[in-house]
Protein backbone atom coordinates (compact mmCIF):
# COMPACT_ATOMS: atom_id res chain seq x y z
CA UNK A 1 0.00 0.00 0.00
CA UNK A 2 1.37 3.40 -1.02
CA UNK A 3 0.12 6.45 0.89
CA UNK A 4 0.44 10.02 -0.34
CA UNK A 5 -0.54 13.24 1.41
CA UNK A 6 -1.75 15.78 -1.15
CA UNK A 7 -1.85 19.42 -0.03
CA UNK A 8 -4.39 21.29 -2.16
CA UNK A 9 -5.04 24.96 -2.89
CA UNK A 10 -8.50 25.72 -4.26
CA UNK A 11 -10.52 28.67 -5.44
CA UNK A 12 -11.94 30.33 -2.32
CA UNK A 13 -15.54 29.81 -3.40
CA UNK A 14 -15.00 26.12 -4.33
CA UNK A 15 -13.37 24.64 -1.19
CA UNK A 16 -16.44 22.69 -0.05
CA UNK A 17 -17.42 21.46 -3.52
CA UNK A 18 -13.84 20.51 -4.41
CA UNK A 19 -13.46 18.60 -1.13
CA UNK A 20 -16.61 16.59 -1.80
CA UNK A 21 -15.56 15.78 -5.38
CA UNK A 22 -12.06 14.78 -4.28
CA UNK A 23 -13.40 12.59 -1.46
CA UNK A 24 -15.50 10.70 -4.03
CA UNK A 25 -12.48 9.78 -6.19
CA UNK A 26 -11.25 6.18 -6.20
CA UNK A 27 -7.99 6.04 -4.29
CA UNK A 28 -8.81 8.96 -2.01
CA UNK A 29 -9.54 7.71 1.49
CA UNK A 30 -9.94 11.00 3.38
CA UNK A 31 -10.05 14.76 2.77
CA UNK A 32 -9.47 17.34 5.49
CA UNK A 33 -10.22 21.06 5.42
CA UNK A 34 -7.21 22.82 6.96
CA UNK A 35 -5.88 26.27 7.78
CA UNK A 36 -2.63 27.71 6.52
CA UNK A 37 -1.10 27.81 3.05
CA UNK A 38 -3.39 25.05 1.77
CA UNK A 39 -7.15 24.61 1.85
CA UNK A 40 -7.38 20.81 1.84
CA UNK A 41 -5.30 17.74 2.57
CA UNK A 42 -6.21 14.48 0.83
CA UNK A 43 -5.01 11.01 1.81
CA UNK A 44 -4.45 8.94 -1.31
CA UNK A 45 -3.89 5.20 -0.88
CA UNK A 46 -3.10 2.95 -3.83
CA UNK A 47 -1.44 -0.42 -4.37
CA UNK A 48 1.47 0.77 -6.56
CA UNK A 49 3.40 4.03 -7.00
CA UNK A 50 2.36 4.12 -10.67
CA UNK A 51 -1.29 4.26 -9.57
CA UNK A 52 -0.66 7.66 -7.98
CA UNK A 53 -0.49 9.13 -11.49
CA UNK A 54 -4.02 7.96 -12.22
CA UNK A 55 -5.38 9.50 -9.03
CA UNK A 56 -3.47 12.76 -8.53
CA UNK A 57 -2.62 14.30 -11.93
CA UNK A 58 -5.15 12.06 -13.69
CA UNK A 59 -8.23 12.99 -11.65
CA UNK A 60 -7.63 15.05 -8.50
CA UNK A 61 -5.83 17.89 -10.28
CA UNK A 62 -8.71 18.11 -12.77
CA UNK A 63 -11.40 18.77 -10.14
CA UNK A 64 -12.97 22.16 -10.78
CA UNK A 65 -11.56 24.75 -8.39
CA UNK A 66 -8.26 22.97 -7.69
CA UNK A 67 -5.50 25.53 -8.33
CA UNK A 68 -2.39 23.74 -7.10
CA UNK A 69 -1.32 20.51 -5.42
CA UNK A 70 1.77 19.42 -3.54
CA UNK A 71 2.26 15.67 -3.07
CA UNK A 72 4.26 13.99 -0.31
CA UNK A 73 4.76 10.22 -0.28
CA UNK A 74 4.63 8.57 3.14
CA UNK A 75 7.55 6.19 3.65
CA UNK A 76 6.83 4.94 7.13
CA UNK A 77 3.81 4.89 9.41
CA UNK A 78 4.06 5.40 13.15
CA UNK A 79 0.94 4.14 14.84
CA UNK A 80 -0.34 1.94 17.63
CA UNK A 81 -2.86 0.40 15.20
CA UNK A 82 -2.40 -2.23 12.49
CA UNK A 83 -2.94 0.25 9.66
CA UNK A 84 -1.95 -2.18 6.90
CA UNK A 85 -4.93 -4.36 7.78
CA UNK A 86 -7.26 -1.39 8.24
CA UNK A 87 -6.32 0.19 4.90
CA UNK A 88 -6.64 -3.07 2.99
CA UNK A 89 -10.22 -3.74 4.10
CA UNK A 90 -12.53 -3.81 1.13
CA UNK A 91 -9.73 -3.76 -1.44
CA UNK A 92 -9.63 -6.59 -3.99
CA UNK A 93 -6.62 -8.90 -3.79
CA UNK A 94 -3.70 -7.92 -5.99
CA UNK A 95 -3.11 -10.07 -9.07
pLDDT of residue 75: 84
Q: In angstroms, how far is CA 21 from the centroid of its own chain?
A: 12
pLDDT of residue 1: 83
Nearest to 52 by CA among 37, 42, 38, 64: 42
Supply φ then ψ for residue 81, to 5 degrees: -110, 155
Burial of residue 82 (number of CB atoms within 10 Å: 0-12, 13-18, 19+): exposed
Say what the pTM is. Answer: 0.80
Question: In a structure prediction context, what are the per-residue pLDDT tens digits for the chain, which is 95 residues long?
Answer: 899 999 999 999 999 999 999 999 999 999 999 999 999 999 999 999 999 999 999 999 999 999 999 999 988 767 666 656 555 555 556 55
Amino acid sequence: MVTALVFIKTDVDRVHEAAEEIAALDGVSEVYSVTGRHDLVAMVRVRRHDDLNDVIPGRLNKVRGVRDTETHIAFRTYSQHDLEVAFSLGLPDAD
